[in-house]
Amino acid sequence: MRKLNYLMILISAFFSGCDKDTPGPILPLLPNNECVWNGTDSLVYLHSIHCSEEFNALAGPPILQIHSNVNSVKVVYEIATAKLYFSSASAFYLHYDFCREILGYPKSHSAFNAEQYVNGPERLYYLASVNHYSSSGIYTLEFFSDDRVDAKGLQTVYSSVADSCFFGRDLKFLPTSTRLQQLSSEVPGISVIDESTLYGSQNYQALNLQKAYGYLRKVNISDIGSTYLGRHDIIVVNGLPLDIPVIAGIITNVFQTPLSHINVLSHNRGTPNMALKTAWEDTLISRFVDKLVYLEVRADSFLLREASQAEADSFWSFKEPRETIVLECRDDSAGLFDMQDLSHESLNLVGAKAANFAELSKIKMGDESMPVPDAAFAIPFYYYRKHLSENGIDTYIQSILSDSLFKTDYRRRMFLLEKLRDTIVNAPLDKQFLREVEDKIRTVGNYKRMRFRSSTNVEDIEGFNGAGLYESHTGIIDDSKKTVEKAIKKVFASLWTLRGFEERDYFKIDHNSAAMAILVHRSFPDEEANGVAITGNIYLPLLTAYTINVQIKDISVVSPPQGFIADQFLFHIASEDAFEDPSIEYISKSNINNGEPVMTNEEIVLLAKWLLAINQHFYRIFQPPFPSQLFMMDVEFKLDEERKLCIKQARPY
């Protein structure tokens, strides 16, 4: 049997100055996956892995943990000596740590990152990981998505790992970027697996890693919206609801997209969100239904246990907002505003969406302007407040808010808010104002079909995202059904949706200070794709990448129909040639696009360039007390009927 180097170093020896020349016994892989490690000594690294116990002793969670139930062992192949090292996750968090402490790498961490992930004369190591997916039992070899390893390097590392591990015959290569996928087709003799095959067996998905106390409720998907759910309820639901009220946490039995409205709201509220495919029939979960529980969503698992009233009360007292927030609202300025006359400072005049849109309109890339929807203008808060006061609706709102049962009786609250919305829609709109809007539409462009989008002083702002709380509607000039008047009044009324009211109420926002303005621009009746992008890596913020979800046509990414999966990927931007030689790491692909990516690489690169410009622009505006790579914007975009990119909105994430 071929001899393989085997080296086990005690951690105590490591700290006393052990190095790569420490002698180790030459031991073969034993039959039947027998261990050579004695099971008690602490491991720092091995040259080969003989059994699952040795793998588990070295393994830890992946640095970039997107999926659950994954154990990872870092791999270092020293090119000059042709030596392979499997390092201990507990001893070395990064490849750099191992190479510096054991192999004597002399330079800085930044130099390591610049030299050891590209092919050049200064590259000393091939760096990878072996991951074990416990739900499927599959072992994969994976490189960092932005690693510029060549075909020779891939072949060398794959063969070395396969020859040195007990699972070698079953080892799969998982390409973590489109570039590595192309590279794998050039290397003979390696077994490649794709993400859909690998991740299909996953049962658990961690969306928002948080803790909560609450009463565990089991709610049928068809009853969401008609069943009262309180802020101290943790719900288990057999599907993916389009919307959720203010609750303490959620467990769905279908996987979600990380940028869905449900997860964005969970992120904003700081509440746990997870998916467990077996949740609806899970016996552990069923044991705790209607009981006070503690739920903790972790990257790799979750904890659910019964809780005491005392610990729950203490948590709620500490966690929940207590101070009333009164919003600023300039409702004394009439007129319709062009984007060039607005800025981020106009938030209290036209709302955050319109103010941020005005900032988007100012961004340039060379001589090219940001591709935003044409024919845009803003309707300020003045007309919303005028509509209420002229029709006596402001007085009606006060009577509702002072109703003794309004806050305590869910069904009465739902009924009165619906009645209020109907009242706003049915009240006549000022005719002079309506003429001004229609005249404005005719002068700013050649479009009759326009989109009227909610723009409040209580959304798209730092600390309160407000995703999905309010509504947008289409109005068409000279159309008897989808009139401009109806569109305006429906948007006005949407300030008083049940979900919007309860979200404001949870955050102790004074409802009387909230107001609705409107962003108006051309409508997109036909589109080839729609998506959401975060200008950062939501899985590992220090690893610079953009998180992008996109789906074909107008099928929603943020509130997808049941069973629909969107393209989810990371666009890595750490390397100097990120836009010339893009590294795109797919997490999932759309299940309704014949296995093809929704966007081409060229379209993705163009989007990424604009995302960089957006992030830089808004970082200068907000001036947060942390580096720009940790600052993230939430950006919505479309590809129109001609596949031209259009940036719809941007808000802090």
Residue 39 makes CB contacts below 8 A (sequence gap 6+) with: 53
pLDDT in tens, 446-476: 999 999 999 999 987 667 777 789 999 999 9
**Position 22 pLDDT exceeds 50:** no
Q: What percent of the chain has pLDDT over 70?
A: 95
Question: Residue holding tokens 């929704």?
Answer: 598
Mean local confidence (pLDDT), 274-292: 96
Q: Both tokens of residue 405?
A: 């049962």
pLDDT in tens, 140-158: 999 999 999 999 999 999 9
Instruction: Give the whole-angstrom CA distance, residue 185 versus residue 191.
Output: 10
Q: What is the DSSP letter of 230?
A: -
Q: Both tokens of residue 419?
A: 């009645």
User: Which residues on adjacent β-strands are paired with residue 533?
Assistant: 548, 635
Cα distances (Å, whole numbers) of residue 451 to 492, 517, 633: 14, 13, 23
Question: 26 falls in which pLDDT band (50, 70, 90)?
Answer: very low
Higher pLDDT, 651 or 563: 651
- Domain 337-522: top CATH class: alpha beta
Q: What is the DSSP letter of 581?
A: S
pLDDT in tens, 310-348: 999 999 999 988 899 999 999 999 999 999 999 999 999
| CATH fold match for the domains 204-319 and 337-522 | no
The DSSP code sequence of 182-194 is: HHHTTSTT--B--
pLDDT in tens, 496-548: 999 999 999 999 999 999 999 999 999 988 899 999 999 999 988 888 999 99
**Position 28 pLDDT exceeds 70:** no
pLDDT in tens, 50-108: 999 999 999 999 988 888 889 999 999 999 999 999 999 999 999 999 999 999 999 99
N- to C-terminal Cα separation, the chain: 57
Phi and psi dihedrals of 375, rounded to 5?
A: 60, 45
Mean pLDDT of the chain: 91
Q: What percent of the chain has pLDDT over 90?
A: 77
Residue 256 makes CB contacts below 8 A (sequence gap 6+) with: 205, 207, 240, 262, 263, 273, 275
User: Which residues on adjacent β-strands are paired with residue 237?
Assistant: 219, 252
Instruction: Give the whole-angstrom CA distance, residue 270 versus residue 446.
Output: 44
Instruction: Give the whole-angstrom CA distance, residue 568 versus residue 550.
Output: 7
Phi and psi dihedrals of 77, rounded to 5?
A: -110, 115
Mean local confidence (pLDDT), 305-313: 97
Q: Is the four-CA dihedral 405, 407, 409, 411 of positive or negative sign?
A: positive
**How many helices and strands, by DSSP H and E, does the chain display?**
18, 28
Question: 18 falls in which pLDDT band (50, 70, 90)?
Answer: very low
pLDDT value for 183: 95
| 8 A C-beta contact, residue 55 and residue 134 | no
Instruction: Give the whole-angstrom CA distance, residue 323 versus residue 325.
Output: 6
Residue 3 makes CB contacts below 8 A (sequence gap 6+) with: 26, 27, 28
Question: 14 falls in which pLDDT band (50, 70, 90)?
Answer: very low
* Residue type present at position 302: F
CB count in 10 Å sphere of residue 301? 12
Residue 185 makes CB contacts below 8 A (sequence gap 6+) with: none
**Position 25 pLDDT exceeds 60:** no
- Domain 527-652: top CATH class: alpha beta
Cα distances (Å, whole numbers) of residue 43 to 10, 53, 108, 128, 485: 6, 11, 26, 19, 72
pLDDT in tens, 379-412: 999 999 999 999 999 999 999 999 989 988 888 9
pLDDT value for 312: 97
Instruction: Identify which of 360, 409, 345, 354 has the alpha carbon closest to the alpha carbon of residue 380.
Output: 354
Instruction: Give the whole-angstrom CA distance, residue 500 versus residue 142.
Output: 44
Question: Residue holding tokens 């900032």?
Answer: 359
Task: Name the least confident of 20-24, 108-112, 212-216, 535-539.
Answer: 20-24
Does CATH place domain 204-319 in 2.60.40.10?
no
pLDDT value for 613: 98
Instruction: Give the whole-angstrom CA distance, residue 622 versus residue 632.
Output: 11
Alpha helices by DSSP H, 343-409: 347-362, 381-390, 393-401
| 8 A C-beta contact, residue 89 and residue 58 | yes
Alpha helices by DSSP H, 221-299: 261-269, 283-287
Q: Where are the domains of the chain?
A: 4-197, 204-319, 337-522, 527-652
Question: 257 falls in which pLDDT band (50, 70, 90)?
Answer: confident
**Position 10 pLDDT exceeds 70:** no
pLDDT value for 199: 80
